[in-house]
Amino acid sequence: MNSRIKTIEDLSLNAWPSHQMQIYDGWILRFSYFYTHRTNSVEQIGPSLLPIPEKVAYCEDIYREWGSPCVFKISPLVPAEFDRYLEDRGYEIQHTTHVMTRPLEDDASLEPEVFVTTSSFIPQKWIDALFALKGTTNIMHRTVVPSMYRAIPKQTICASITDSSGTIIATGLGILDREYIGLYAIHVHPDHRHRNYARSICQTILKQGRALGASKSYLQVVDGNEAAIHLYQSLGYSRFYTYWFRLKPVAGPAAGNLL
């Protein structure tokens, strides 16, 4: 099981590059002006040789210089004693997330009900629409995030649905890596929900991913988002593992929105 978790953790790192990254004794420090927890946290990717207190203090100093909260991602691959160590230092749990997976065997379940436009690249119009759907107004996020999407090193399936005026009202992104197609950035404008738009975008990405050689799929959904969880379960996904983030609150405003 751990080898499969490690695979998906690696795929997730490939799928969502950060604005800045540095390696430190088997840990990767990611920084993106706190656009998301995933792109602005420390992840353990290899064996650790230095003492943990020394390493945590180093990370705290680096994120302090970045003007950002210090955040650690805690997956099932991280020793439980490290999570307890952070808890004892005042780190709080945030953004608990479930990883869900499904095989891509039943092609009949992948027929979308709504027409979805796709492309193999990520146009600026799609990124601007995603900002609008998420309500992203932070100027630094709007400046650096486009380059993060363009830095994705894997094959992408960029999906959208437009209204009669040509405005994008729903988005989705598929990222193909090895035998997996990952689902990301599934968003629908509030005025256009309950019309099977999200379902159709997922089905379109999965169908194209399967045609490109994917035999499995994964996604990540925040705990408590019951509508999304119900949708993904109806598409054949089941929970595989859960991870969360440990964040140490900082005095004053953080450099960005806690998303």
Query: 178-181 long-range contacts, Cβ below 8 Å, gap at least 24?
Result: 178/7, 178/11, 179/213, 179/214, 179/215, 179/216, 180/7, 180/8, 180/11, 180/214, 180/216, 180/217, 180/218, 181/104, 181/157, 181/205, 181/206, 181/209, 181/210, 181/212, 181/214, 181/216, 181/217
Alpha carbon 96 to its chain's center: 12
Q: Which two tokens stand for residue 198?
A: 């999200």
135 and 223 in a common domain: yes
211 and 162 in a common domain: yes
**Which domain CATH number covers 140?**
3.40.630.30
Q: Is 253 inside a domain boundary?
A: no
148 and 33 in a common domain: no
Domain hosting residue 175, numbered range: 101-240
The CA-based angle 225-166-194, given to 5 degrees, is 30
218 and 112 in a common domain: yes
pLDDT of residue 105: 83
168 and 181 in a common domain: yes
Residue 130: enclosing H or E segment and its boundaries? helix 124-134
Q: At what angle do helices 226-234 and 197-211 cross, to 10 degrees?
A: 50
105 and 45 in a common domain: no
43 and 133 in a common domain: no
121 and 93 in a common domain: no
**Which domain CATH number covers 9?**
3.40.630
67 and 165 in a common domain: no
CA dihedral sign of residues 186, 190, 196, 200: negative
Q: Which two tokens stand for residue 66?
A: 């970045």
**Rounded-to-integer distance, Cα 195 and Cα 200, Å:** 9
Q: Is 118 inside a domain boundary?
A: yes
113 and 88 in a common domain: no
Closest CA to 129 of 172, 174, 171, 173: 171
Model-level pTM?
A: 0.92
Mean pLDDT by 10 residues, the chain (259 residues): 94 94 96 93 94 97 94 97 97 97 83 95 96 94 93 96 96 98 97 95 97 97 96 96 91 41
127 and 59 in a common domain: no
- Do 24 and 55 meet the contact criterion of CB atoms below 8 Å apart? yes
Q: Is 257 inside a domain boundary?
A: no
234 and 200 in a common domain: yes
Q: Is 170 inside a domain boundary?
A: yes
For the chain, how are helix, strand and coil distributed in percent, rounded to 5?
35, 30, 35
Number of domains the chain is built from:
2
pLDDT of residue 110: 84
DSSP state of 127: H
**Rounded-to-integer distance, Cα 187 and Cα 160, Å:** 9
Q: Is 73 inside a domain boundary?
A: yes
pLDDT of residue 248: 84
- DSSP string for 178-193: TTEEEEEEEEE-GGG-
pLDDT of residue 253: 43
